[in-house]
Amino acid sequence: MASSQTAAAPKTSMLAGLTESRGWLSLWFMLPAALLLLIFLTYPLGLGVWLGFTDARIGRPGVFIGLENYQYLWDDSVFRLSIFNTLLYTTAASILKFVLGLWLALLLNENLPFKSFFRAIVLLPWVVPTVLSAIAFWWIFDSQFSIISWALIEMGLIDERINFLGDPTNARLSVIAANVWRGIPFVAITLLAGLQTIPQSLYEAATLDGASRWQLFRYVTLPLLTPIIAITMTFSVLFTFTDFQLIYVLTRGGPVNATHLMATLSFQRGISGGQLGEGAAIAVAMIPFLLGAILFSYFGLQRRKWQQGGGD
C-alpha cells in the first residue's frame, strides 16, 4: 500500500507506513488487548510462580527461599487433604454434570412443545451469580430450618434433621450437589447444540437397519458428539477444579477442612492469613493438574478427528 507513494514523498510515507502497512497496523490494533493481557495476565502468572518461591507476606516483600514453601506444603496434612478434596469434588461433580447434562440435552432434543421456553429456563442457574444462588443453597442446607429435611420428615422418610453442612461426608455431598446444580445447564445447552448438528437421516438409516434405541445412542449419537463433549467437559473440569465461590459461601472449607479445595486453601493462607508466598505456592500447585486436564482432552479430541477422517 505504502510503496506507491514512496518515491513521491518520503516524509509522508513514513507516516503512511505507520498507519497503513499491514504489520504496523496489526500492531496498533493488537496493542490494547496485548497490553491488558500482558500486564494483568502474563505478568501476574510469572509473579505468582516467583511468589511461590518467596516468603512474602502482606505488607512485606519476601526473599527467595527456594522450595521451602513446597517442602512445607508437602508435609502439611491440610494441603494433602485439600488435593484429595479437589480431586474428589472435580471427579464426582464432573461425572454427574456430564451424565445429567447429557440426559437433559437428549430430553430437550426431543420434539417438544415450548422447546425454546424450556431451553431458556433451564439455563437460569448458570446465568445467576454463583454467590447469590449459593446463598439460597445455604438457606436450603440450613441445619435447623432446611426445607429438604422438613419435606423428608413430613414424608416419613427420615426421623431427624439432616446436618447438611456440619458433617464432613454430608458437607462434601452438599457442595457437590450445589455445584452440579449450577453446572448442568452449561453442559446440557452446549451438548444440545452438538446434538442438533447430527443429521436426522443417520437415525432413519440406522432405524431401518433395525437398531434399537440404545444402539442409536451408542453408535450414532455418542461418536458424533464426542468432539463437543471433549471441549465442554474440559471447560467444566477446569471451572470445577478451580472453584472457589461455592465453597467460600457454603462452608469456607469446613467442617474440619473436609471441603477445603486448593483454591479456598490458597485464599485462606494467602489473603486471610497473610502468607502470600505460601498461598501463591498452593495456587501454582494447581497448574500441573490443569495442564493435565487440558492435554488429556486435547489429545482425546485429536484422535476423534482422525478417526472420523477429518483433516486438521
List binders of another protein among 169-188 (CB under 8 A). 181, 184-186
Q: Looking at the chain, how many residues does it have?
A: 312
Phi-psi region of 252 (alpha: psi -120 to 50; beta: other; left: phi over 0): left
287 binds another protein (CB under 8 A): yes
132 binds another protein (CB under 8 A): yes
The residues that bridge with 64 in the sheet, in sequence order, are 54
- Least distance to another protein, CB of residue 277, Å: 9
Residue 67 or 290 having the CB closest to another protein = 290
DSSP label at residue 154: H
111 binds another protein (CB under 8 A): yes
Residue 104 or 171 having the CB closest to another protein = 104
105 binds another protein (CB under 8 A): no
Count of positions on this chain that bind another protein (CB under 8 A): 100
15 binds another protein (CB under 8 A): no
Q: Which of 3, 6, 12, 26 binds another protein (CB under 8 A)?
A: 26
- Least distance to another protein, CB of residue 263, Å: 4
270 binds another protein (CB under 8 A): yes
67 binds another protein (CB under 8 A): no
143 binds another protein (CB under 8 A): no
4 binds another protein (CB under 8 A): no
Residue 119 or 304 having the CB closest to another protein = 119
CA angle (210 as vertex; 99, 220 as ends), nearest 5: 35
Q: Which of 64, 74, 84, 103 binds another protein (CB under 8 A)?
A: 103
Stretch of 2-10, 64-72, 159-167, 268-276 lying at the interface with another protein (CB under 8 A): 268-276
CA atoms within 13 A on the CB side of 265: 27
Q: Which of 7, 127, 155, 157 binds another protein (CB under 8 A)?
A: 127
232 binds another protein (CB under 8 A): yes
Task: Give the integer Cα–Cα distance in Å for 291 and 161.
Answer: 42
CB 264 within 8 Å of CB 85: no
HEC profile of 24-64: HHHHHHHHHHHHHHHHHHHHHHHHHHHHHCECCECCECCCE
Task: Give the integer Cα–Cα distance in Å for 308 and 287.
Answer: 32
Residue 7 or 208 having the CB closest to another protein = 208
203 binds another protein (CB under 8 A): yes
CB 278 within 8 Å of CB 270: yes
Residue 129 or 311 having the CB closest to another protein = 129
All cell numbers assigned to 34: 496485548
Restricted to residues 28-47, the positions that interact with another protein (CB under 8 A) are 28-34, 36-37, 40-41, 43-45, 47
All cell numbers assigned to 186: 452449561
CA atoms within 13 A on the CB side of 24: 11
**Continuous H helices in 217-267:** 222-241, 245-250, 262-267
- Least distance to another protein, CB of residue 54, Å: 11
